[in-house]
Structures are given as C-alpha cells and as structure tokens.
C-alpha cells in the first residue's frame, strides 16, 4: 500500500514532489497550499519587472523541458504559466488544496503517523514533505512610524496593483534583486523615485535575449540542442561562478566584470562610489541586472544612502532630511532563516522543531532532521544557491525522498541518526570555511548569530552525488532494524 503523503506548498518544490509521486503511481498525497494558486514565489512576486536571474531553460524541470520560453530570462507571468501548465499536465489539481494553510504537524508515536493541522481540522499522514520555500514570507523592516504613513505602502512580494504609480513620488526601500528589477519599470512612469540603499550590492549584467519563433522552433524540433543549451548553462554556472563564491580563480574576474559594468553604466564618480560594495563579490546575493544602474542615473531617480531615521505621514526621513513620498515600496526581502516557521512542528518525544533549531536551522542533506521521523524537507537548510538553479536542488531532494519511501514502507518510520547529523554538520562547517559568505557582510544567508543557515557550500554536482540514494545506515527505523550491507542494499522505488 502506498504511504499517504502531505506536501506543504505548491511552488516549484511541492509540484516537483507531487509529479515524482504521480509518476511512481502514488496518488495518496495531498498538497496543502496556503495561497490561492500554485506557483509559490512566482504567484506572489508580481511586481513590475519580476523575473528570474537563472536562464529558464535551466530554471525549469529537467523532465519537463519547455521549448517555448520567449526569452533567456523570462518574466514572472511566463514562469507562473509554466508551473500552472505542469500542475495541469501531470494531473495534480485534484489533489491540491488551495487556501489551506498548515498550522501544525505533530508526530503521533502511538500511530507512527503525522497529524497535520489546518484551519479545517486535523488529518493523518504517514509522511510530511515540507515545500514551503526559503523566500515565501516577506520581511518588513522595523522603522519607527511605518504605520503613520499617509500614502500607500506595500512589500514588493505583495504588490498592490490597485496603485497607479504614474506621476507619483515613490520611495523604494532596499536595493537588492527585487528592487533592481522593479526600479527601472517604476521610474519610467513615476514622477520621482527615491531609492533607499543601506548596503550596495555587486551587480553584473544580465545577458538577456529574445527567443524568436525560429529559435523556439529549433528548440522544439531538435530537442538535443535544447538539452545541450541547458547543460552548457549549468556547466558554466558550476565551473565559472561557483569557484568565485569559493574564493577561487574566478573571484577576481567576477569582481572585474561587476566593476566594469558599474563603470560602463554610471559616469558620475560620486554615485559610483556609493554603489561600490566594500565586501567580496558573492558575500551577499549578486544582483544580475542590466537596467538597474541606468535607472539610477535618470533625472527622476535619486539614490539615498543616509540612514533612515523614521517614516512620517509625509514620507521617509533620513539623517539628512525628509523625502516626501506618495507610495512606499518595501523591497526588503524575506524572513529566510525561519524555514518551516510559523508551522508548529513536533516530533518524537514531544521535541519541537523551533526549539531544536533555536541556534539555527540544520538538516541532514538539508532534508532530514533527527527526532522527526518521516519528515522530509525540500529547499531546507543549507540548500540555497548563489550561483545556480534552485530547481536542480529541488529535483535532487525529491528524488532522494522517493528513494526513502520503499525503506519506510518496509521498515517503519525512518529518522536520521544524531551521529549522521553530527558528521554532516562537521563536513558542512569544513566546506563553509572556504566560502565567501563568512566574509564581513550581512546577508539573508545567515541567521542572527551569523551562521550561514541557507546556502549550500559546494558544487551542486556534489549535492547530486550525495543525494542520489539514501544511505540506510544514516537512519534509525522504528520497525525492524535495518541490516547494514555496506551500502549494497538494493531497494527500488
């Protein structure tokens, strides 16, 4: 009998997991989605200019290659359309429960099953797969007076489309990836845009290109070309970008590329100085955009670098004075280090995940947590990337979880051993030592105590290798103990 699986979230991760289950003939799953549609990130981020910064031929499922991308880096509507198409094509819709937030998940030891709670009640499942993403809860800054602002204000991931920005004074707080995408579009229509920057980011050009009808036809008719293009994009990210983040041969080249980009696009040396980061390239998320700097040089756009003191009813006050505004856009990122929060997750022995993770979230392979049997995470701790496609990581994780299902079916609930977790922690720390994220910068990759809880510190080829199949000796099984056959145990999914 197939296990019953609760999947939390219907973004790239949740859909990937469901498709893998469908393809294995397992239909005993439910996707709980708190939002009104599928798509996760790509349903929520509808700000003008929203798009990916990994080419979509790579930022899409390997098993569902799509030849119709209209450009190299398509916008949000097209990526959302792709995910909706996947949900339809693989017949996932009947098992997706929209507008249904999971508020708690508790492992019932007497039943060896999870009690999954939503506002409409509690249901039992054998397995819980979290696919809640790392960037799904907007983070608003804590600036005095925010609620007193007389105009409209909203977060970039909750864009208020009822606000026409034409001819208005817009304050954008933040200058990261979302800000860089939306500022050029807003500046085209607004009377004035004030961009409030706390820390400059490294910016490299986005080599976007339109795929015309001919290119699309070629990709459609000659699928090997599309496969080759995808593979080339992947290899480039691994061989040229990853070493820069590991402080190796391409770090200097990447820095030079970013500095050349800045010099080429911003002529004013004073503005250039304020846009030049004082930390190594890659320490914070690199902004990939060719329109951001030109937008900052428009006569109706100002880069404000004085610290914000408060928000007043009339606008944003910095140490240098008041910047009047009609609309404030908070492009201030996401609550990235809470992972499954605010879901109350309780495992064996009444252990609460929030307590286990109070020093920082961690999971074996980013997927499994000791004392939480049959709980698997997609895009969990230390699986975010600064250089390649998250979809690649999600596919590795979904494949690994599929590999776990036969074990738990035969041997009972499986839970990663604390010793395996400890060994994992040590190897992760060793790998992390070489990465640029530890350098003196703040970033969403780190928790409050400065530990990098979000990023994966090795090539993704390594991640693919170690997640290819579960190692049963790393797990404790609640049923008959597994016999270690030196890794030769043959289990098929």
CB of 88 to ligand FAD, least distance (A): 17
Burial tier of 152 (Cβ tally within 10 Å: 0-12, 13-18, 19+): middle
Residue closer to ligand FAD by CB (options 289, 326) is 289
Query: What are the angstrom distances between the C-alpha of 307 and each of 6, 72, 317, 321, 388?
Result: 45, 37, 9, 10, 33
Q: Is 168 helix (H, G, I), strand (E, B) or coil?
A: coil
CA distance 385 to 242: 9
Q: Determine contact, residues 96/102, Cβ cutoff 8 Å.
A: no
CB of 392 to ligand FAD, least distance (A): 8
Q: Are 139 and 16 in contact (CB under 8 A)?
A: no
Residues 6+ away with beta carbon under 8 Å from 171: 193, 194, 196, 315, 316, 323, 325, 327, 328, 329
Q: Please, which residue, 233 or 250, has the CB nearer to ligand FAD?
A: 233
- Taking each continuous run of H as one helix and of E as one strand, the counts in the chain are 14, 21
129 contacts: CB under 8 Å, gap ≥ 6: 5, 6, 7, 8, 14, 17, 376, 377, 378, 401
**N-terminal to C-terminal alpha carbon distance within the chain:** 13
User: Pick from 302, 310, 475, 459: which is nearest to 400 by CA?
Assistant: 475
The minimum distance between CB 450 and ligand FAD, in angstroms, equals 22
Residue 32 C-beta: closest distance to ligand FAD, Å:
5
> Judged by CB, which is closer to ligand FAD: 137, or 274?
137
User: Considering beta carbons, is residue 266 or 369 the nearer one to ligand FAD?
Assistant: 369
Q: How far is the CB of 292 from ligand FAD (least distance, A)?
A: 14
Output 176 or 472, the one with its CB closest to ligand FAD. 176
State which H helix or E strand residue 475 sits in.
strand 475-477
- 52 vs 414, beta carbon nearer ligand FAD: 52
Minimum Å distance from CB 481 to ligand FAD? 33
Distance CA 381, CA 34 (A): 21
Q: How near is the Cβ of 375 to ligand FAD at its closest, in Å?
A: 14
Distances in whole angstroms, Cα of residue 360 to Cα of each of 22, 414, 451: 34, 23, 7
Show the DSSP H helices in 91-170 as ranges.
Answer: none
Inter-residue contact 202 to 284 (CB < 8 Å):
yes
Would strands 344-346 and 169-173 be described as parallel, antiparallel, or unpaired? unpaired
Question: Closest approach of Cβ 147 to ligand FAD, in Å?
Answer: 25
If the CB atoms of residues 136 and 455 are measured against ligand FAD, the closer one turns out to be 136
Nearer to ligand FAD, 2 or 100 (CB): 100
Rounded Cα gap, residues 352 and 354, in angstroms? 5
Q: Which residues contact 125 (CB under 8 A, 6 or more apart)?
A: 4, 5, 6, 30, 113, 114, 116
| Shortest distance (Å) from residue 35 CB to ligand FAD | 4
Nearest approach, Cβ of residue 214 and ligand FAD (Å): 26
- How far apart, in whole angstroms, are the C-alpha atoms of residue 173 and residue 139? 12
Q: Which positions touch ligand FAD (CB under 6 A)? A: 8-14, 32-35, 40-41, 45, 50, 52-54, 59, 101-102, 131-133, 135-136, 178, 343, 378-379, 389-390
Question: What distance in Å separates the CA atoms of residue 32 and residue 34, rounded to the nearest whole number?
Answer: 7
Alpha-carbon gap, residue 300 to 194, rounded angstroms? 8
Q: How far is the CB of 48 from ligand FAD (least distance, A)?
A: 12
């Amino acid at each position: 009998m197939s296990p019953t699986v609760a999947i939390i979230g219907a973004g790239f991760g949740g859909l990937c997991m469901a498709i893998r289950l469908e393809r294995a003939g397992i239909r005993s799953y439910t996707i709980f989605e708190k939002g009104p549609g599928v798509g996760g990130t790509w349903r929520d981020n509808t700000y003008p200019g929203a798009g990916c910064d990994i080419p979509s031929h790579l930022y899409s499922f390997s098993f569902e290659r799509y030849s119709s991308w209209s450009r190299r880096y398509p916008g949000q509507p097209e990526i959302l359309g792709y995910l909706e198409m996947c949900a339809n094509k693989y017949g996932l819709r009947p098992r997706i429960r929209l507008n249904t937030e999971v508020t708690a998940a508790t492992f019932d030891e007497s039943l060896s099953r999870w009690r999954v709670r939503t506002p409409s009640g509690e249901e039992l499942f054998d397995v819980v797969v979290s696919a809640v993403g790392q960037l799904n809860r907007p983070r608003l800054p804590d600036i005095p007076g925010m609620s007193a602002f007389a105009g409209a204000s909203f977060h970039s991931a909750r864009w208020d489309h009822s606000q026409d920005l034409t001819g208005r004074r817009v304050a954008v707080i933040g200058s990261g990836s979302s800000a860089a995408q939306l500022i050029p579009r807003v500046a085209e229509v607004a009377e004035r845009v004030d961009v409030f920057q706390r820390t400059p980011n490294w910016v490299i050009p986005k080599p976007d290109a339109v795929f015309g009808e001919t290119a699309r036809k070629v990709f459609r008719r000659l699928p090997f070309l599309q496969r080759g293009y995808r593979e080339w994009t992947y290899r480039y990210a691994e061989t040229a970008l990853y070493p820069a983040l590991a402080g190796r041969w391409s770090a200097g080249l990447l820095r030079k590329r970013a500095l050349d980009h800045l010099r080429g696009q911003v002529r004013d040396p004073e503005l250039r100085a304020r846009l030049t980061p004082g930390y190594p390239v890659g320490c914070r998320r690199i902004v990939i955009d060719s329109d951001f700097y030109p937008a900052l040089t428009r006569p109706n756009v100002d880069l404000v670098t004085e610290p914000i003191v408060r928000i007043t009813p009339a606008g944003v006050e910095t140490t240098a004075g008041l910047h009047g505004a009609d609309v404030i856009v908070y492009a201030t990122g996401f609550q990235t280090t809470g992972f499954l929060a605010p879901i109350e997750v309780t495992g064996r022995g009444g252990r609460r995940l929030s307590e286990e993770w109070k020093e920082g979230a961690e999971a074996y392979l980013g997927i499994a947590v000791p004392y939480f049997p049959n709980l698997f995470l997609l895009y969990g701790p230390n699986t975010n990337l600064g250089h390649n496609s998250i979809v690649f990581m999600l596919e590795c994780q979904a494949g690994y979880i599929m590999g776990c299902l036969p074990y738990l079916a035969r041997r009972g609930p499986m839970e990663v051993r604390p010793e395996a977790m400890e060994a994992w922690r040590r190897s992760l720390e060793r790998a992390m030592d070489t990465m640029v994220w530890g350098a003196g910068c703040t970033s969403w990759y780190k928790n409050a105590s400065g530990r990098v809880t979000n990023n994966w510190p090795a090539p993704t080829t390594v991640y693919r290798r170690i997640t290819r199949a579960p190692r049963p000796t790393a797990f404790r099984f609640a049923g008959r103990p597994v016999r270690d056959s030196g890794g030769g145990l043959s289990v098929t999914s």
